[in-house]
């Protein structure tokens, strides 16, 4: 709702507009002449000024000029009689937004005010975005996304372009490339920014609880449902739902999700009521969903419903020019967290970072920087500490020899040892985060948890 100043020397017109706009929940101030209007403008900021064109001494044109000089972002709407329409058009050339010709209809006023407020809102948001872009141009960081390489520039421009769109977005890319950061940036730079952003990891939900988690349930609808509960879609109403690892949702649930995307409503487990929801869907995956569709593991109609606006995150090996920026960003971050001044990295150490093969992408790079910041002692990260931290991140190499000695081999034991080493290395690279470790090993989270239990690693890594 807007702050509006009504200026008219006719008491009846002034009171009519004031009452009508207050009923629309606007905050309305009135002025009986141009002089009063200028006093109000000098004391207070308004979103809209609605002023009569012809008034004694100080007329609407004078009010318009003062507003444009002192508060150019304020929208001015002129009120004019038929005989002075040409003057009103001239006022628009000087910056007025629109004019109302007497006699006018209530709905006409409401529409012009509504459109004027929307225009002002969009202008303010564009100014904010321009400032954000300027900050990014200077620092190379926007919404947590770091980089100035051509691929990142394209993604930043796309985020700004689609932020206010209602269309669903599918973000693809390898693990650790920053898919959730992009999802949050899309939400934060759009008109839903003041509403909830709810992220859910589809690979972490037990198959039998998908419907309850996303759609909610009614008390007593299943064992353990001791109270009614709203689902993710209800709790995010008006905002954004981020479905991470969308490729892991069970096949039998995909048709239910498709129905929600098409009908914009959910039905709680055990309930009959259709609950309307207004959410934007942003999904992400590191899997090839087109291949999954071809293999019959992912519904084609759901894929195309999600893939309205595709965003592909580039791997770090394709944007190595961004590595110095990322290093600087994470060194600054962990310098603050650890409470120790870290000024930077030696040229030799930086070259090691640039030429390293980052299998885990930005997430792995951050992990190495955190480790180096913790283990290092001086204000500059030297080559030896980076070497040590990079070596710890190199995955276990499977022996290539398949020679079998005369006494035979314990193949099962060897395979188990290799698998256990892979798990330990993945946990080390991801700081113990199981979902990320599972992503590195390209297994789903359920399978990864099973293997942790199999090798008695669950307790140690919780």
B/e letters for 315-348, b = 16+ CB within 10 Å, e = fewer, are bbeebeebbebbbbbbbeebbeeeeeebebbbee
More confident residue, 431 or 234: 234
The least confident of 30-39, 76-85, 149-158 is: 76-85
Q: What percent of the chain has pLDDT over 70?
A: 91
| Mean pLDDT of the 228-232 span | 89
Checking DSSP bridges between strand 240-244 and strand 197-201, what pairing results, if any? Answer: parallel
Look at residue 246 and tell me whether its pLDDT is greater than 80. Answer: yes
Predicted local distance difference test score (pLDDT) of residue 197: 96
**Tens digits of per-residue pLDDT, 344-385?**
999 999 999 999 989 889 999 998 999 888 888 888 999 988
Q: Which residues are CB-contacts of 304 (< 8 A; sequence separation ≥ 6)?
A: none
Predicted local distance difference test score (pLDDT) of residue 395: 45
Do residues 67 and 77 make contact, with C-beta atoms less than 8 angstroms apart?
A: no
Predicted local distance difference test score (pLDDT) of residue 407: 64
More confident residue, 132 or 433: 433
Look at residue 455 and tell me whether its pLDDT is greater than 90. Answer: no
Do residues 436 and 363 make contact, with C-beta atoms less than 8 angstroms apart?
A: yes
Predicted local distance difference test score (pLDDT) of residue 461: 39
Look at residue 162 and tell me whether its pLDDT is greater than 80. Answer: yes
Average pLDDT, the chain: 86
Range among 101-110, 131-140, 218-227, 306-315 rated most confident: 306-315
Predicted local distance difference test score (pLDDT) of residue 121: 80
More confident residue, 431 or 449: 449
Confidence of residue 135 (pLDDT cuts 50, 70, 90): low
| Mean pLDDT of the 72-93 span | 79
Please provide the DSSP assignment of 260-277 as one string: HHHHSEE--BT----EE-
> CA distances (Å), 21 to each of 2, 18, 30, 45, 101, in order?
10, 5, 11, 17, 18
Domains of the chain: 3-121 (3.40.50.2300), 146-314 (3.40.50.300), 317-393 (1.10.8.60), 411-461 (1.10.10.60)
Confidence of residue 401 (pLDDT cuts 50, 70, 90): low
| Mean pLDDT of the 384-407 span | 66
Look at residue 231 and tell me whether its pLDDT is greater than 70. Answer: yes
More confident residue, 142 or 155: 155
Q: Is the dihedral of CA 288, 294, 295, 296 positive or negative?
A: positive
Predicted local distance difference test score (pLDDT) of residue 402: 60
Predicted local distance difference test score (pLDDT) of residue 330: 93
Predicted local distance difference test score (pLDDT) of residue 396: 40
* 370: helix, strand or coil: helix
| Mean pLDDT of the 326-343 span | 90
Look at residue 105 and tell me whether its pLDDT is greater than 90. Answer: no
Look at residue 22 and tell me whether its pLDDT is greater than 50. Answer: yes
Look at residue 394 and tell me whether its pLDDT is greater than 60. Answer: no
Which region, left, alpha or beta, applies to residue 238 given φ > 0 means left and ψ of -120 to 50 means alpha?
Answer: left
Predicted local distance difference test score (pLDDT) of residue 398: 46
């Amino acid at each position: 709702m807007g702050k509006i100043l009504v200026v008219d020397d006719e008491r009846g017109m002034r009171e009519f507009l004031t009452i009508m706009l207050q009923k629309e929940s606007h905050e309305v101030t009135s002025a009986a002449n141009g002089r009063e209007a200028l006093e109000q403008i000098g004391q207070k900021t308004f979103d809209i000024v609605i002023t009569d064109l012809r008034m004694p001494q100080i007329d609407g044109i004078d009010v318009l000029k003062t507003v444009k000089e002192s508060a150019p972002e304020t929208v001015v709407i002129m009120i004019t009689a038929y005989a002075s329409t040409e003057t009103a058009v001239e006022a628009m050339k000087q910056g007025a937004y629109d004019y109302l010709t007497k006699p006018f209809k209530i709905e006409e006023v409401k529409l012009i005010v509504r459109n004027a407020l929307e225009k002002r809102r969009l202008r303010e948001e564009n100014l904010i975005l321009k400032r954000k872009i300027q900050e990014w141009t200077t620092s190379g960081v926007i919404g947590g996304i770091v980089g100035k390489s051509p691929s990142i520039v394209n993604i930043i421009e796309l985020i700004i372009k689609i932020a206010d769109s209602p269309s669903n977005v599918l973000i693809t890319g390898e693990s650790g490339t920053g898919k959730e950061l992009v999802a949050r940036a899309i939400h934060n730079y759009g008109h839903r920014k003041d509403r909830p952003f709810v992220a859910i990891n589809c690979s972490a939900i037990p198959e039998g609880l998908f419907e309850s988690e996303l759609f909610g349930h009614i008390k007593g609808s299943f064992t353990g449902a001791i109270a009614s509960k709203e689902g993710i879609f209800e709790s995010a109403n008006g905002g954004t739902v981020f479905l991470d690892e969308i490729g892991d949702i069970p096949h039998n649930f995909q048709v239910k999700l498709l129905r929600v995307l098409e009908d914009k409503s959910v039905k709680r487990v055990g309930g009959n009521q259709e609950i309307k929801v207004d959410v934007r869907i942003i999904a992400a995956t590191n899997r090839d969903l087109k291949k999954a569709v071809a293999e019959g593991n992912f519904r084609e109609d759901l894929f195309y419903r999600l893939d309205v606006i595709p965003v592909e995150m580039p791997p770090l090996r394709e944007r190595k020019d961004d590595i110095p920026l990322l290093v600087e960003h994470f060194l600054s971050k962990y310098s603050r967290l650890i409470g120790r001044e870290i000024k930077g990295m030696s040229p030799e150490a930086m070259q090691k970072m640039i030429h390293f093969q980052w299998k885990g992408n930005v997430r792995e790079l951050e992990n190495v920087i955190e480790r180096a910041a913790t283990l290092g002692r001086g204000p500059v990260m030297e080559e030896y500490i980076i070497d040590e931290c990079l070596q710890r991140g190199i995955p276990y190499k499977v022996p290539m020899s398949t020679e079998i000695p005369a006494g035979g081999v314990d193949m099962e034991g060897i395979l188990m040892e290799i698998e256990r080493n892979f798990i330990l290395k993945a946990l080390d690279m991801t700081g113990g985060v199981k979902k990320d470790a599972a992503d590195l090993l390209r297994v789903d989270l359920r399978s990864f948890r099973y293997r942790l239990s199999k090798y008695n690693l669950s307790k140690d890594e919780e």
